[in-house]
Chains A and B, each alone.
Chain A
Amino acid sequence: MFSRRNPQLNRHGELIHLLSIEGLPKAVLTQILDTAGTFLSVNDRDVKKVPLLRGKSVFNLFFENSTRTRTTFEIAAKRLSADVINLDIARSSTAKGESLLDTIANLSAMHADMFVVRHGESGAPYLIAQHCAPHVHVINAGDGRHAHPTQALLDMYTIRHFKGDFASLRVAIVGDIVHSRVARSDIHALTTLGVAEIRAVGPKTLVPADLAPMGVRVCHDMADGIRDADVIIMLRLQNERMSGAMLPSAGEFFKHFGLTADKLALAHPEAIVMHPGPINRGVEIDSTVADGVHSVILPQVTFGIAVRMAVMSTIAGNEA
Chain B
Amino acid sequence: MSPIRSLNLDAEALYTALRQGVRGLLAAAPDAVLVGIWSGGAWLAARLHADLGLAGEPGVISSALHRDDFSERGMAAGGGTTKLPFAIEGQRIFLIDDVLYTGRTIRAAINELYDFGRPASVGLAVLVDRGGRELPIEPAYAAARIALAPAQRLSLARAEDGRFSFAVESVD
Contacts and interface: CB of A to CB of B under 8 A. Distances in A.
Contacts of A51: 65-66, 111
Given A47-B116, A50-B65, A50-B115, A41 B74 contact: no
Contact of B116 (A31, A46, A313): A46
A313 B77 CA distance: 12
Contacts of B83: 41
A273 to B, nearest CB: 29
A318 interface: yes
Q: Which residue of A49, A314, A317, A318 has the most chain B CB atoms within 10 A of its CB atom?
A: A317
Q: Which residue of B62, B70, B73, B78 has the most chain A CB atoms within 10 A of its CB atom?
A: B70
Contacts of A35: 75, 77
Interface string B49-81: 000000000000010111000110111011101
Contacts of B71: 317
Contacts of B73: 317
Nearest to A312: B75
Contacts of A34: 77-78
Given A38-B79, A46-B116, A317-B73, 8 more contacts: A31-B77, A45-B116, A46-B115, A47-B114, A51-B111, A52-B65, A316-B70, A316-B75
B116 A38 contact: no
A45 B115 contact: yes
22 contacts: A35-B75, A37-B81, A38-B62, A38-B65, A38-B81, A41-B83, A42-B65, A46-B115, A46-B116, A46-B117, A47-B115, A49-B115, A50-B66, A50-B115, A51-B111, A52-B70, A52-B75, A313-B75, A314-B74, A317-B70, A317-B73, A317-B75
A319 B73 CA distance: 9
A318 B111 CA distance: 24
B75 A314 contact: yes
A38 B64 contact: yes
A41 B66 CA distance: 14
Contacts of B78: 34
B116 A318 contact: no
Given A50-B115, A317-B71, A41 B81 contact: yes
Nearest to B67: A52
A47 B64 CA distance: 16
Interface string B118-141: 000000000000000000000000
Interface in A293-320: 313-314, 316-319
Nearest to B80: A38
Interface string B72-101: 011101110111000000000000000000
A14 interface: yes
A42 B79 CA distance: 14
B116 to A, nearest CB: 6
Contacts of A314: 74-75
A156 B171 CA distance: 37
A318 B115 contact: no
A34 B79 CA distance: 10
A318 B65 contact: no
A41 B82 contact: yes
Nearest to A53: B70
Contacts of B64: 38
A314 B65 CA distance: 12
Interface string B15-36: 0000000000000000000000
Contacts of B62: 38
Interface in A1-53: 14, 31, 34-35, 37-38, 41-42, 45-47, 49-52
Contacts of B79: 38
A44 B111 CA distance: 17
Contact of A318 (B66, B74, B81): B74
Given A38-B62, A38-B81, A317 B116 contact: no
Nearest to A51: B66
Contact of B74 (A14, A45, A47): A14
Interface in A94-140: none
Nearest to A80: B65
Contacts of B75: 35, 52, 313-314, 316-317
A203 B7 CA distance: 71
